[in-house]
Chains A and B, each alone.
Chain A
Amino acid sequence: MPDSVKSPLNIDFCGMPFNTPIVLLSGCVGFGEEYTRVKGFSNRETGAVCLKGTTQEPRLGNQPHRIYETPSGMLNAIGLQNPGVDKVVDEILPTLDFTETHFIANVSGSTVEEYYEVTRRFDDSPIDAIEINISCPNVKEGGVAFGNDPAMSARVVEACRQATRKPLITKLSPNQTDIAGNAQGCIEAGSDAFSVINTLMGMAIDIESRVPIIGNNQGGLSGPAIKPVALLKVHQVYQVCRDHNIPIIGQGGITSAEDALEFMIAGAHAVGVGTALFYDPLICQKINAGIRDYLTRHQLASVEHLVGTLQLHQQTRPKCSC
């Protein structure tokens, strides 16, 4: 634990003492050191950093263009470019400073066996926790193809559970019909926590050439555009997690302390920051300061007291979402 003094921002996440509720999201911060290039940035501002999605063998990833700005967000289709788990464990993890924050591996694969093998490899490493990526929208096999099928999701989680005793966090896709039902199956299969949500599938088209702008044809939409969707999904998954004491990393379009607070009120213990870093590399300091101010203003001793405090309007008439 980097900071022994208890701060209102400290949280416990699956037994890991987080400095702050902020988790830097997989795919946005490389293998943990990239943003430290920016003067003033520190991993100490976070509770954890999720490393880039890792597979058993190295992957080149998708052809350019891989990203494209859209209204209030962006599309990306990186395609899990990574050097393979052996290189990550043997060469990259030893360069990380584990006194600054917690590091979470992000595991991907094309088969259940690959998920198992990559998780097993990380189990035998200093990594603090493992996030199972069954929601990547940008690869042909595995990823969201597993995450949108509740039975497959549970099989992947079960296999990973057999490979490690480290905290297992399942990253859920918003591109599915019943996210809460899927979460229930993943809990039964051994998931300790959830990341809610991954990106929404989307597309952009060059009208002159009539081809998709993204090399992969489609990509994952992130940024403020998806925040309301993410918030509802966190609320829905929390209904399942609450009774099992399973924490959630709420994520999707968080760019301010106010956004982060909304996610925690909806049921997230921790909050993920990704696209907002592209806007402002020093955003974590501002989010932490804003949360601290809110806690003072509301006379709350810990940010954990906020989690799941949403008070829904009582519905007197039959429910209708339209």
Chain B
Amino acid sequence: MNKSHRDSIFLEEAEILSHQGFAGEQFILRVQAPQCAHTALPGSFVHLQCDPLQPMRRPISIMRTSDSEGWIELLYKRVGSGTQLLSLRKPGETLNLLGPIGQSFKPSAEHTHPLLIGGGVGMPPMIFLADCLRSDRLKQPFVILGSEVPFPFSASPSKIMVPGMPEGVIASMPLLDDWGIPCRLASQQDLPGCYQGYVTDLARLWLVAMEKALRQQVEIFACGPHPMLQAVAQLAAEFDIACQVSLEEFMACAVGGCAGCVVEVSTPQGPVMKRVCVDGPVFDARQVF
């Protein structure tokens, strides 16, 4: 009996270390969750009890971790009653947290140019992935982040040149710049230094500017709203680029027990329903779009 799956998810009373609000109903939450921090991977999420008054949990992607300090950081948007209650929680209080959960993004060894695309509250797994990729000298990642509300960080002009970018598209996430990872921002809103348009349009400009041989080294990773992921999957198919996407769905158990969070996945044997929580949330884009 193979029981390797056992004891891989931890239930922790996580103390809130910091909880900061940003424009556009966005919040960045850092909690002490050492067991989760130790094993989380880019794409992992936590299933969080926002408040004892609302016992059903909410799945939230992990943005950053520190194994040495034992914390994890989450970005969420206040959209309903659960996240409304969560937004009222204060440093020093604890949150009941289940994690890390899910299959992570898996960069392939042969592709040297990962393209990371994150939209809205889909940005966190891309930042986590970028953090992991920076230690790999063979990888030269490029990150595109998109938002229709002000970004939950102070965007600043990047010090890193990126080929194919239109004039004036210079804004970046400072953390990524500090890590030496090129990044550009996109928004339909008129935000300074950002590309005015969709993340996929900016990605296209980057891909088109590349030589064909180099383009074959690209692999796309994406997380964001469903229409954005659909557009990313189409872009990847058009350029014949491997693409992994992270999906979201309403979730009850988040450990594979209830099959409430499924997505239809194409397989050679026909369509099957896969659970977003433990079979995903990361899937091959060709299988789900």
On whether the beta carbons of B1 and A97 are closer than 8 Å, the reply is yes
- CB neighbours of B49 from chain A (8 A): 279
Closest chain-B Cβ to A73's Cβ sits at a distance in Å of: 9
On whether the beta carbons of A34 and B263 are closer than 8 Å, the reply is no
B9 contacts the other chain (Cβ, under 8 Å)? yes
- CB neighbours of A255 from chain B (8 A): 55
On whether the beta carbons of B257 and A74 are closer than 8 Å, the reply is no
On whether the beta carbons of B258 and A27 are closer than 8 Å, the reply is yes
On whether the beta carbons of A37 and B253 are closer than 8 Å, the reply is no
On whether the beta carbons of B257 and A35 are closer than 8 Å, the reply is yes
Within 8 A of A (CB), among B258-289: 258-264, 271-273, 278
Known: A36-B5, A38-B9, A74-B56. A61 touches B252 (CB 8 A): no
Give the interface residue-count category, chain A: 35 or more
B7 contacts the other chain (Cβ, under 8 Å)? yes
Q: Find A76's partner among B9, B249, B258 (CB 8 Å cutoff).
A: B258
- CB neighbours of B260 from chain A (8 A): 66-67, 76, 78
- Kindly state the separation between the CA atoms of A29 and B260 in the bound complex, as whole angstroms: 11
Q: List 9 A-B contacts (CB under 8 A).
A: A29-B257, A38-B10, A39-B9, A39-B11, A60-B271, A64-B262, A97-B3, A277-B253, A281-B253
- Kindly state the separation between the CA atoms of A65 and B253 in the bound complex, as whole angstroms: 14
B98 contacts the other chain (Cβ, under 8 Å)? yes
User: For chains A and B in complex, what number of residue pairs have CB atoms within 8 angstroms?
Assistant: 115
- CB neighbours of A27 from chain B (8 A): 258-259
Q: Find A95's partner among B2, B257, B262, B278 (CB 8 Å cutoff).
A: B2
Q: A37-B5, A278-B57, A280-B96 are in contact. List 13 more A-B contacts (CB 8 A).
A: A34-B255, A35-B253, A39-B7, A39-B35, A52-B259, A61-B262, A61-B273, A64-B262, A66-B259, A69-B250, A278-B252, A279-B55, A281-B253
On whether the beta carbons of B56 and A278 are closer than 8 Å, the reply is yes
A234 contacts the other chain (Cβ, under 8 Å)? no
On whether the beta carbons of B9 and A37 are closer than 8 Å, the reply is yes
Q: How many residues of B contact A (CB 8 A)?
A: 37
On whether the beta carbons of A64 and B249 are closer than 8 Å, the reply is yes
- CB neighbours of A97 from chain B (8 A): 1, 3
On whether the beta carbons of A37 and B6 are closer than 8 Å, the reply is yes
| A interface: dominant SS | loop
- CB neighbours of A65 from chain B (8 A): 249-250
- CB neighbours of B262 from chain A (8 A): 61, 64, 66, 81
On whether the beta carbons of A28 and B10 are closer than 8 Å, the reply is no
Quick one: closest B residue to A67, CB to CB? B260
- Kindly state the separation between the CA atoms of A37 and B258 in the bound complex, as whole angstroms: 14
On whether the beta carbons of B8 and A37 are closer than 8 Å, the reply is yes
- CB neighbours of A28 from chain B (8 A): 253, 257-258
- Kindly state the separation between the CA atoms of A81 and B273 in the bound complex, as whole angstroms: 8
B256 contacts the other chain (Cβ, under 8 Å)? yes
Q: Find A68's partner among B8, B250, B273 (CB 8 Å cutoff).
A: B250
Known: A74-B252, A279-B49. A36 touches B258 (CB 8 A): no
- Kindly state the separation between the CA atoms of A38 and B262 in the bound complex, as whole angstroms: 20
Quick one: closest A residue to B80, CB to CB? A69
